[in-house]
Amino acid sequence: MHEMGSTAKVKSLEISDDGVVTVEWGDGHRSQYDPKYLRLNCACAECIEEWSRRQLLDPATVPADIRAEDYLMVGRYAVQFLWTDGHYTGIYPFKMLRSLCRCRPCQDAKGK
């Protein structure tokens, strides 16, 4: 079994009063995510067509003020959010979640 590096391990996850999701990673990095950005990047079968990877979720249907009401850790590899629009089937693997970080160091690392 392949062991993921510390960059794909979540140390802590918090949802702030203003809806921002903050993840502290095993390597000490902190990622902050806008809730609408996370919701629009849901890759579940309701949001993305499984075979073609075509987006099924219409971004216009996601409220600007959407928030994660709660979350559930899925094993040691992912997190699942309960969104204020009632959506809850999306699982965000830690590796994918880390790749969604939009801070400059993470974006620069993607460019390499």
Structural domain includes residue 22: yes
Structural domain includes residue 1: no
What's the confidence (pLDDT) of residue 6?
Answer: 62
Structural domain includes residue 84: yes
| pLDDT tops 90 at residue 84 | yes
List beta partners, residue 36.
none
Structural domain includes residue 112: no
Percent of the chain clearing pLDDT 70 (strictly above): 93
The whole-angstrom separation of Cα 30 and Cα 15 is: 13
For the chain, what is the domain count?
Answer: 1
Structural domain includes residue 96: yes
DSSP state letters, the chain:
-PPPPGGG-EEEEEE-TT--EEEEETTS-EEEE-HHHHHHT--STTTB-TTT--B-S-GGGS-TT--EEEEEEETTTEEEEEETTS----EEEHHHHHHT--SHHHHHHHT-
Tell me which residue range forms the domain holding 71: 6-106
What's the confidence (pLDDT) of residue 106?
Answer: 87
pLDDT digits (tens, 9 = 90+) for 28-63: 999 999 999 999 999 999 999 999 999 999 999 999
Rounded mean pLDDT of the chain?
91
Q: What is the CATH number of the domain that holds 81?
A: 3.30.2020.30
Structural domain includes residue 76: yes
Structural domain includes residue 111: no
| pLDDT tops 80 at residue 72 | yes
Q: Is the pTM of this model over 0.95?
A: no
